[in-house]
Amino acid sequence: MSLLQIIPINKKDQRVVLDNGFVIDISVEKMFEVGMYIQSRKIGLIKFSALSSLNNLEIQPYYNLEEIAIKSEVEQYSEDLCKVAVDLFRVYTNGRIRITSDLLNADTGCG
């Protein structure tokens, strides 16, 4: 794994230190988005959509991974960054995440 350290900041933010020295901040932003930043410059975005009603507190939320966009400068770390971002969103929302095979096979690295 190319990640040296994952530092929790709070429930919706983490800092990731890569083996090349890059420090990447990962944050749950809007209701269904997780952003990735190097020094406040966006280098990645992951979008989700709800597959279940979010109004029923008795049912665990279920989300679909819709889109992954990671800039080429950190492309070699995309698999690790995607896993960290998806896990952060899963924990933050206490939900389950569905990743479709087309995203797994689209060289996104998330899977």
CATH label of the domain that carries residue 11:
3.40.630
* Position 39 in a domain: yes
Compare 101 and 75 and report the one with higher pLDDT.
75
Compute CA distances 49 → 4, 8, 16, 46, 67, whole Å.
Answer: 30, 24, 25, 10, 9
**With 50 as the cut, is the pLDDT of residue 1 above it?**
no
**With 90 as the cut, is the pLDDT of residue 107 above it?**
no
* Position 84 in a domain: yes
* Position 110 in a domain: no
Query: Domain limits at 53?
Result: 3-104
Q: Which residue has the tokens 């994952």?
A: 6
Other CB atoms within 10 Å distance of the CB of residue 16: 22
* Position 42 in a domain: yes
Mean pLDDT of the chain: 88
Predicted structure pTM score = 0.87
